[in-house]
Structure 1
Amino acid sequence: MRGHVTFREATADDLPVMEALLIAAELSLEGVQAHLADFVLAVQGDEVLGVAGLERYGPHGLLRSVAVRADHQGRGLGQALTWEMIERATAAGLETLTLLTTTAAGFFPKQGFHPVTRDALPAALQASSQLQGGCPASAVILHLALPQRSPA
């Protein structure tokens, strides 16, 4: 280990490494470029170890593309990325965070997410390519109400 992991916003230059991480995790690339400004990378030195993204639809967010490089899995990095995205969504004033998963339905409830049905989702989220078929219909939908910060 060459130091600790930090988080930074993704840029267009990061797309190739982000796409490689998402492909390795069997996650959809659809919509990544359109929402690039809300993607975060976990980095150590100049190495990208993980990625997570957010799609914003009014006061609702869709957490997506949480992926960690295979040789760094099992070290809490996925959890750290998830908490980072929850923090960023809360700081941005979002009211809810939703995600779809086919492989990590047991992981996200530990972060406070709970299962919901598609018809329980805010209508604004239906605009996401992930809900329009980017993610399989068999995906589990998990939802988190975010704490609301009082205006300063």
Structure 2
Amino acid sequence: MTWSFQPAEPADRSAIEALLIASALPVTDLPADLDGFLILREGDILAACGGIEPLDPSTGLVRSLAVAPPRRGQGIADALLDALEERAAASGLTTLCMLTTTITTFAQARGYVPIPRAQAPEAIRVTAQFQGLCPDSAALLIKERPAPRT
């Protein structure tokens, strides 16, 4: 099945926050403009959301990836992560990081490799997620992507 992900707009904020809260994910650090976020709407219902926050010219943080409970298990998260990764590659990001307590197996199946938090790149170490929004028990996973050919 194909889904049509759209860039999130500030008007989507309350629906995104509700989905993240229902998924036990933090909302206090969401960017005001929701830049880098994609959503999937089904009528008036927000079915999924996720974003990539650029941390430096080459590194991005995959964050706030959530699918509404009735829509889980249908491949939406795979398709959403594909769409986010495509946007990240198009913007020149070559390293994607993820902090998670729940989707480690999913992320590893998608090519993300767990690394010790002590080996976190500096760009990740300074984020609010790394410094406290995500618990110390959150796995840190990294996916290196080849730089696009010029």
**Structures share a fold, TM > 0.5?**
yes
- Give secondary structure in 1 for the equivalent of 2:12: helix
Give the corresponding residue for 1:29.
27
1:63 CA displacement: 0.2
Find the counterpart in structure 2 of residue 15 from structure 1.
13
After superposition, the CA RMSD in angstroms is 1.6
Aligned residue number for residue 55 of structure 2: 57
AA at the equivalent of 1:117: P
Q: Residue deviations 1:32-63, cap 9 Å, x none? A: 13461111102234532100011111110000
Q: What is the Cα deviation at residue 107 of structure 1?
A: 0.9
Cα shift at 1:84: 1.1
Cα deviation for residue 104 of structure 1 reads 1.1
2:126 matches 1:120: no
TM superposition score normalised by structure 2: 0.92
Aligned to 2:92: 93
Residue in 1 that maps onto 2:148: 149
Query: Take 2:45 and 2:135, find their aligned partners in 1: how far apart are those partners?
Result: 31
Distance 1:106 1:56, change over 3 A: same
Asked whether the 8 Å contact 1:68–1:78 carries over to 2, the reply is yes
Moved more, 53-62 or 33-42: 33-42
Change in 2 beyond 3 A, CA 1:128/1:144: same
Q: Where does residue 48 of structure 1 map in the other structure?
A: 46
Q: C-alpha displacement at 1:4, in angstroms?
A: 5.3
1:139 maps to 138
CA contact (8 A) 1:4 1:44 kept: no
- Cα-to-partner distance string for 1:46-85 (whole Å, 9 max, x where unaligned): 5321000111111100001110011100000011111111
Secondary structure of 1:14's match?
Answer: helix
Counterpart contact for 1:6–1:44, Cα < 8 Å: no
C-alpha separation in 1, matches of 2:2 and 2:44: 12
Q: Aligned equivalents of 1:132 and 1:75: distance in 2? A: 33
Q: Does the CA contact (< 8 Å) of 1:56 and 1:62 recur in 2?
A: yes
CA offsets 1:115-144 (integer angstroms, 9 cap, x no match): 011232221222311011010000011110
Kindly, what percent of the aligned residue pairs are identical? 36
State the one-letter code of the partner of 1:24.
A
**Ranges in structure 1 where 5+ consecutive residues have no aligned partner:** none
Secondary structure in 1 matching 2:97: strand
Counterpart AA for 1:52: G
The runs of 5 or more residues in structure 2 that have no matched partner are none
* Structure 1 moving runs of 4+ over 4 Å: none
TM-score under structure 1 length normalisation:
0.91
